[in-house]
A and B are shown apart, each in its own frame.
Chain A
Amino acid sequence: MLSDAKTRSIIIQCAPVALAAAFAALLVSTTFANLRARGIPIGFDFLTMPSRIVISEAILTYKSRDPYYWAIVTGLANTVFISAVVIVFSSVLGLVVGVTRLSSNPLAAGTCRVWVEVARNSPPIVLLIFLYSLWWKVLPPVGEALNPLPGVYASMRGFVVPAVSMDVATAGLLVIALALALAAAGWAAARRGWMPPLAAPAILAVGVAGLWLADAKFSVDWPTFTGSNFKGGKELTPELSTILIGLTIYTTGFVAEIVRGGVLSVGRGQWDAGHSLGLPRGKILRVIIIPQMLRVIVPPLNSQYINVVKNSTLAIAVGYPDFLAVMNTIISKSSHSIEGVFIILGVYLALNLSLSSAANWYNRRIAIVER
């Protein structure tokens, strides 16, 4: 009987299932026993209670009288902000560095190679701690703040940059315009001819014009230096600046390698084929080379973006309160560890799942272009 394929398969499957179930039962029972022994109730009611925890800096406004759920949202906003900024900057820089590495100019290619190797071979947390330790060594005190770009100041106290302020309606409109532009770009990728290159900028232009017509409240607040302090603008603390710069340096190295691999994956034969058809260089690049490159680049690029979200937890190394750090504080403050763990797992899984499903959607689109 035991040698029957079906019976054996069922037995083989039962063993690990039973083991997992037993382990889960042990976990649940001891957890409840431990919680009962410590007199801790289980439930998400605590979320609406005042948290009284301190969040040293936040993108959103947060006061320690705010309820727990708002503390969580604040931490999450910090994480999303770091991830978004790092993804945008490292994508642009990675494109530049990756292509420059392929240049025949040894000076340029060599410098970019050093960047890539340093990024790929050093732990991001060491990079962050190192940069953080440099902060006071390299940058001047506030009184002698550097002013590398108009409206941008750098000193021991961090960066000050011009702040863009807008009302909620304007922000909403802008988001819609951006989303439309992105959709147009995706749609354009599936088509050829004169429309694609124009579609996205056109929609963006219409959006901006719409904002102007709608008399949107939109202003730029330029920081001014008063001799000992700054007025206006947006201050980025050394902690936040370190994370943004460090993770961008780190991620750029990986993006550059992906870009380089994508460029190299399209053989010279494709250029030759394009030339032999009499296509101009720009056209070859747009309709032959780039679509093939994207097919190679998008999947690993997406896993890098997911890595950025994961690496944003390293903020803890320099004391910046990202989502995980805030959750850690909440758990030790409220003793709701079970609920806290579920929130942590749920949030990161949801963030990464949404990133990868966006990439999968895009992948399907470019796969259709191929056919």
Chain B
Amino acid sequence: MLSSTAKRVPPMPDPNDPPAIEMTGMNKWYGNFHVLKDINLTVLRGEKLVICGPSGSGKSTMIRCINRLEEHQQGQIVVDGVELTNDLNKIDVIRRDIGMVFQHFNLFPHLTILENLTLAPIWVRRMRREQAEQTAMYYLERVKIPDQAHKYPGQLSGGQQQRVAIARALCMSPKIMLFDEPTSALDPEMVKEVLDAMVALAEDGMTMLCVTHEMGFARQVADRIVFMDKSEIIEMNTPAEFFSHPRHQRSKLFLAQILN
């Protein structure tokens, strides 16, 4: 199964552009627990990264550091040329450029789908309401649920909610998208509709970091796969290499478990 079928050729990231994200020597602790050990990772513009690894290995923590939902304690994170520090203005700038999709959707239950999508454009980007609604409808069509615009999140299926969450992030026209296990809270029959939306996004050339265990998606979309275990990045490789010749013993073990 490891020999994959003919693969779509992604737009090659230009190595001369400044990288979208650059983490150097990053460390983080929760109290005494060293949750991220010396993370060095450069993500180029337009690049798609899939991050995998056993539960508790620090995947979520790492990508949440990128938009400052978690604070790192050592090392550097530079997003789009801006270094993340305590400077609140810089944090605002960086958050505006990064969209995030969560495992549990985190839609705002008291707002309609349309209001969920227009909230940030109106209040953060200062967009006019009509324009924000137009943008929202455009992205709802892209994720194929324009007819749900006036419902509340509680009235939608899990797969639909997650697609709304993707559309909500896109409404802010981010340069980078972070996905934290977007399909693991979904029933199996809904996984595909969400992955389809993500594939479409990848084809548009979005810079993407996805924590996911959907190896089919990884093979189809990822430029690189990052394997984490016990707070460290163990291995980083193209999907073809990673799946056929995992270099590390722990990667082999993980692949064996996940593919069977």
Contacts and interface: CB of A to CB of B under 8 A. Distances in A.
B86 interface: yes
Contacts of A4: 86-88
A3 interface: yes
Nearest to B71: A5
B86 to A, nearest CB: 4
B89 interface: yes
A216 B91 CA distance: 77
A3 B86 CA distance: 8
Contacts of B91: 5
Interface residues of B, number: 6
B69 to A, nearest CB: 14
Nearest to A7: B86
A275 interface: no
Q: How large is the interface on A (under 10, 10 to 19, 20 to 34, 35 or more residues)?
A: under 10
Nearest to A4: B86
A8 interface: yes
Contact of A6 (B86, B89, B90): B86
A6 B71 CA distance: 13
Interface string B68-92: 0000000000000000001111110
B102 to A, nearest CB: 23
Main SS of chain B's interface residues?
Answer: helix
A84 to B, nearest CB: 46
Nearest to B86: A5
Interface in A184-201: none
A141 B88 CA distance: 78
A6 B86 CA distance: 7
A302 to B, nearest CB: 33
B90 to A, nearest CB: 8
A57 to B, nearest CB: 56
Interface string A1-22: 0011110100000000000000
Contacts of B88: 3-5, 8
Nearest to B91: A5
Contacts of B90: 3
A6 B85 CA distance: 11
A99 to B, nearest CB: 37
A332 B141 CA distance: 76
A4 B86 CA distance: 5
Nearest to B90: A3
A8 B86 CA distance: 10
B65 to A, nearest CB: 15
A8 B88 CA distance: 9
B39 to A, nearest CB: 22
Nearest to B88: A3
A8 B92 CA distance: 15
Interface string B88-118: 1111000000000000000000000000000
A5 B90 CA distance: 11
Nearest to A5: B86
Contacts of A3: 87-90
Q: Specify which of B87, B89, B90, B91 lies most central, judged by the most chain A CB atoms within 10 Å of its CB.
A: B87
A5 B88 CA distance: 6
A81 to B, nearest CB: 50
Contacts of A8: 88
A5 to B, nearest CB: 4
A188 to B, nearest CB: 39
Nearest to B85: A4
Nearest to A6: B86
A10 to B, nearest CB: 12
Nearest to B89: A3
A8 B91 CA distance: 14
A147 to B, nearest CB: 63
A330 B157 CA distance: 69
A235 to B, nearest CB: 61
7 closest A-B pairs by beta carbon, nearest first, are: A5-B86, A3-B89, A3-B88, A4-B86, A3-B87, A5-B88, A4-B87
Given A4-B87, A5-B91, 8 more contacts: A3-B87, A3-B88, A3-B89, A3-B90, A4-B88, A5-B87, A6-B86, A8-B88
Interface of B: 86-91
13 contacts: A3-B87, A3-B88, A3-B89, A3-B90, A4-B86, A4-B87, A4-B88, A5-B86, A5-B87, A5-B88, A5-B91, A6-B86, A8-B88
Interface of A: 3-6, 8
